Structure 1
Amino acid sequence: MFSIFIFLQLIITVTSYIPLNRDEHVASYIDNKIFFLGGETDTQNLTKDFFFLDVSIPFNTSSLPMYDLNSITEIPFNRRASSVVCETVKDAIFVWGGDFGLNSSSPLIFAFNTTAKIWNAANDKGIKPPRRRFSSVVCDKNAKIYILDGTADQNIGNTSSPYGNELDVFDTSQLTWSLGSNLNAPVPHDIGTATLLPNGKIVYIGGSNAFGKYLELTQIFLYDTLKNTWANMNTTGASPTARGFHTAVLTRQGHIVVYGGENAPFIPAPDQLLDLDTNVQPFKWTIPSVGFTPNPAPFRGHTSTLVGNYMIVAFGWFNNGTGSSRSNKIIMLNVNDSNNYMWVSSFTPPSVLSATSQPAASKSPDSNTGSTNNTAVIIGIVGGVVGVIIISAVIFLYYRWYKNREDINVIPSDDAFKRSKEVI
């Protein structure tokens, strides 16, 4: 049993991944994983780092089940892009815009197939928008991606106006671009957030306009994807500090949790955690009171991803006491109770929470379900142990063979770096 433990520890040591300090990356939750892509590190302006956090198992923030994907797929160098997962497209992560280490004629949309583990570039058609960075992006139930705001310059192949407020729509099923309504749209801006509600309305919060003014959060804009119309709303409750570079997630209780943001360049907004209740009309802001804030806690350049009861905040810039530094840590907020948000260090997957919350079945005199389940568990444990022993033996024999073999020349296969030439 001790040898089995050592073997399992070796597996963890070999496969676990520690990311570099970074910001301006993207994060996408799909298939019980949060995939992280690109960003800027302390030594590289653009990266193609690609890795994931396994959220199918319990973990602690001090020891993350993080795994590297760079060895199995090629990806473009990038930062300041936007990524989105469409509910009805089961195995794809779409990445839009940003600063790419490619030429100006490069595709606007890339997608990663999580099943085939291949990157594809969209052979898109229609009214193509200019490439932009820091856009607000969501995908509706019809697999249409809505892209608002963002900035551009010649560095990313855009010679038009640096700011715009066009609403570009990309149909992932037809690979076709179109324009949404521009009537009563918010002013051109970037570094805001977009959150899709179950009723098909998109909530746009904050950002910074062309004059460097941070947008007030007491007025939010709503886009109805069903009617293709804009509306604005004056919120009630608290009056949060205007900001940009924040993140937002929608909880299962219908609350938008806003985290982070700055109200001057690299100056954190004083109220870093906000709650917007969308169950009331008009929407209502509150500033939650939490017992403590983890350290390091990023305020810009981070991502926030909702998984079950947890908002998982990853990487980004934080104040180190004398200035700002990038982080490679994550922090987590339990958002299950909108009246009692809590920063936590331990994560429990939604599947485990669902299993433990199921009521115990009443016993029946003629039922043998319990004994059957116990037998299955015993068989599973024995099978698992035997499997580990067999794998250990294979690895040991391979190691002996490898040590004793004569030197040979091996030509590496291109398959390890294969990139599909097919379109999405």
Structure 2
Amino acid sequence: MVNTPKLFGIVLISGTQSLLLIVFDKINHGDRIIDIIGRFGSIAIVSSSHNCLSRIFLCSTINGRHSCRDVFESFHDRLLIIGGIKDYIYSSELIYLDLSKSFNNTNLPWNLIGGLPIYTCSSTAIVSYDNSNIFLIGGYMSYNSTTINNNYDFSYRVYRYKNLTSEWTTPSIKGDSIPIRQQMTGVINLGTIYIFGGVNITNYTTLTKKRYNEMNTLYTYSTTMTWKKLNITNNLPPPSSDYSASILPNGIIIYIGGQEENGTLTKMNNIKLFDTNEHEWSHMNATGDSVDARWLFASVLTSDGNITIFGGCTLNLTSVSTKLAVLNTNKYPYEWSIPSSSKANSSPSLYGHTANLYYKYMIITFGYDIDNAMYNSKIKLFDTNEHEWSHMNATGDSVDARWLFASVLTSDGNITIFGGCTLNLTSVSTKLAVLNTNKYPYEWSIPSSSKANSSPSLYGHTANLYYKYMIITFGYDIDNAMYNSKVYLYCMTNDTWVSHFDPPSASTSTSTSSLSPILSVLIGIVVLIVGCGLLGIARPFQSLHNCFGGS
């Protein structure tokens, strides 16, 4: 049975010098869910003046793949692909496409830097603060490319790629032995990664697992990194997973909701607090309105110290009472409130959706609509200042509902989407469409010129905006029933597919050259997360619950 993507979501971590986009997936093998969170791939966008790649081999033929990592180096104009799955086995290749040179998509000048130290899929790619290292952490690792479903080898948890020497090493990490984790959320503060709880699942045949309540840190600001299991005995929280985590400017991490031991849901007024300065746990019983316990919900932290949560479901995937609530962290104790204005024009009950804060708006995308027993295809906007919902029914051309597609946002306010598939992984009508956000309401259009010389129908691909080009890479080719190994170029200025790439002229300013691609991708993802796909139908999430929801 061919592995096919079943779940697609995204997390955005931003910093002054780098952006890390972690993409999650679940893969279905026959009728058995074999993987849970963290199985699709990750994208890192790196701005660096130190990266230097050597020992490079030109490879014009590179097999298609999926579940790989896509790393864009803006300084060297390189698009790197790390690992993934190709020909139904894990890959150990590190390749890149040089965007500073012209190329024709019928003969792509892929460069093979060398092999990864392991065969891997869906590890996390993290760029160091000074851009001198790329860390490959966790994921599904094997020293045997044919090992795809179980018998993973976690002998090393962290691999480091040194940009100056183009070497892969297993960094010297001293300290405590930390079991591999899933279903947890890491929070970064001043170079230290804080990882609380989660479950440890290493055998996907027996689904053996353990849920934790310890706090572990990984210190990265040293030549010798350090894992540390914090020795805390006072006020320990119960073993937990599937929570939301937000860090306040004062270094306090707030953990809300999720699951505890035996698959019970955490009460929403039971707030777990961890002080990253003192390494102390504390607990708080939030006051205010009553909010149902939940998981598969989403939250955002606003600049005024309020955490707004929306959606989620019970352990049985049914709706929860009070879809939206706000936790005020400026009061002591924290206080839950359910804004009365938030009930008017409210979104239906959703789970498995995404939430991102863009200026004052919490943008809700996709997920499963419990009320109407269907995928949600609308965009929900919640004004976090006025506590009001805003809905919009876009006008214009008809565009088929889809998932596993990709999108880019251009500087003129247009969102271009491409590809995707139906629930049955079949092609959708109209592969490419443009959403004009300068009009009110927003307007869909299907450029007539976009149909000529079009890419085949793809899903699970990536899309990046590089100056005037939307660059489509990899994915699964529905038309030809095979993995796609080609790169497709769509010229945004004249809405046409092209076969030849021309890098920007030398007259382009340095500031534009270095910032434009990063800002385009960042804004495109933060505004709509349109390319992140649809999260969850009842059956996949029921399988998720059955596999890992209870102990």
Query: How far, CA to CA, are the matches of 1:305 and 1:39 in structure 2?
Result: 19
Higher strand proportion: 2
- Give structure 2 stretches of 5+ with no counterpart: 46-68, 72-78, 86-119, 142-147, 395-408, 414-467, 469-490, 502-551
Query: How far, CA to CA, are the matches of 2:218 and 2:369 in structure 1?
Result: 34
Q: Which amino acid aligns with 2:351?
A: F
Q: 1:42 to 1:319 in 2, by over 3 A?
A: farther
Residue of structure 2 in register with 1:371 after alignment: none
Structure 1 residue 173, shift from structure 2 partner: 1.6
Query: How far, CA to CA, are the matches of 1:317 and 1:111 in structure 2?
Result: 38
Which among 34, 40, 48 is matched to residue 40 of structure 2? Answer: 48
Structure 1 residue 97, shift from structure 2 partner: 4.8
Q: 1:262 to 1:315 in 2, by over 3 A?
A: same
Structure 1 residue 104, shift from structure 2 partner: 2.7
Residue of structure 1 in register with 2:193 after alignment: 145
Q: Which amino acid aligns with 1:250?
A: L
**Is 1:306 the equivalent of 2:357?**
yes
Query: When the two structures are superposed, what TM-score results if normalisation uses the length of structure 1?
Result: 0.59
Which among 277, 286, 307 is matched to residue 337 of structure 2? Answer: 286
Which among 206, 210, 217 is matched to residue 261 of structure 2? Answer: 210
8 Å CA contact 1:26–1:82 kept in 2: the answer is no
**Counterpart secondary structure, 1:37:** strand
Q: Which amino acid aligns with 1:152?
A: N
Q: Which amino acid aligns with 1:132?
A: R
**Counterpart secondary structure, 1:304:** strand
Structure 1 residue 344, shift from structure 2 partner: 5.3
With 251-260 and 42-51 compared, the bigger mean Cα shift is at 42-51
Query: How far, CA to CA, are the matches of 2:312 and 2:233 in structure 1?
Result: 27
Q: Which amino acid aligns with 2:242?
A: I
**Is 1:340 the equivalent of 2:356?**
no
Query: When the two structures are superposed, what TM-score results if normalisation uses the length of structure 2?
Result: 0.47
Query: Relative contact order, CA 8 A, sep 6+: which one is greater?
Result: 1
Query: How far, CA to CA, are the matches of 1:237 and 1:93 in structure 2?
Result: 45
8 Å CA contact 2:41–2:123 kept in 1: the answer is no
Which among 63, 68, 74 is matched to residue 82 of structure 2? Answer: 74
Q: Identity of paired residues, percent?
A: 24
**Counterpart secondary structure, 1:168:** strand
**Counterpart secondary structure, 1:243:** coil
8 Å CA contact 2:83–2:121 kept in 1: the answer is no
Residue of structure 2 in register with 1:134 after alignment: 183
Structure 1 residue 299, shift from structure 2 partner: 0.9
8 Å CA contact 1:131–1:158 kept in 2: the answer is no
Q: 1:104 to 1:246 in 2, by over 3 A?
A: farther
Alignment coverage as a number of residue pairs: 319
**Counterpart secondary structure, 2:210:** coil
**Counterpart secondary structure, 2:308:** strand
Matches within 5 A, 1:388-403: none
Query: How far, CA to CA, are the matches of 1:238 and 1:216 in structure 2?
Result: 13
Q: Residues 180-227 of structure 1, C-alpha deviation per residue, up to 9 Å, x if partnerless?
A: 224212100211111111111111111211212111011211111111
Structure 1 residue 233, shift from structure 2 partner: 0.8
**Counterpart secondary structure, 2:203:** helix
Q: 1:119 to 1:237 in 2, by over 3 A?
A: farther
Structure 1 residue 268, shift from structure 2 partner: 3.0
Q: Residues 231-265 of structure 1, C-alpha deviation per residue, up to 9 Å, x if partnerless?
A: 11111111110122323321111101122222223
**Counterpart secondary structure, 2:312:** strand
8 Å CA contact 2:154–2:180 kept in 1: the answer is no
Q: 1:132 to 1:52 in 2, by over 3 A?
A: closer
Query: How far, CA to CA, are the matches of 1:268 and 1:119 in structure 2?
Result: 47
Which among 215, 219, 228 is matched to residue 178 of structure 1? Answer: 228
Which among 305, 309, 324 is matched to residue 273 of structure 1? Answer: 324
Q: 1:264 to 1:93 in 2, by over 3 A?
A: farther
Matches within 5 A, 1:309-324: 309-319=360-370, 321-322=372-373
Query: How far, CA to CA, are the matches of 1:287 and 1:104 in structure 2?
Result: 47
Query: How far, CA to CA, are the matches of 1:203 and 1:152 in structure 2?
Result: 22
Which among 203, 208, 221 is matched to residue 272 of structure 2? Answer: 221
- Give structure 1 stretches of 5+ with no counterpart: 1-18, 54-67, 353-383, 400-424
Higher helix proportion: 1
Query: How far, CA to CA, are the matches of 1:48 and 1:203 in structure 2?
Result: 27
Residue of structure 1 in register with 2:452 after alignment: none
Q: Which has the larger radius of gyration?
A: 1
Q: 1:110 to 1:192 in 2, by over 3 A?
A: farther
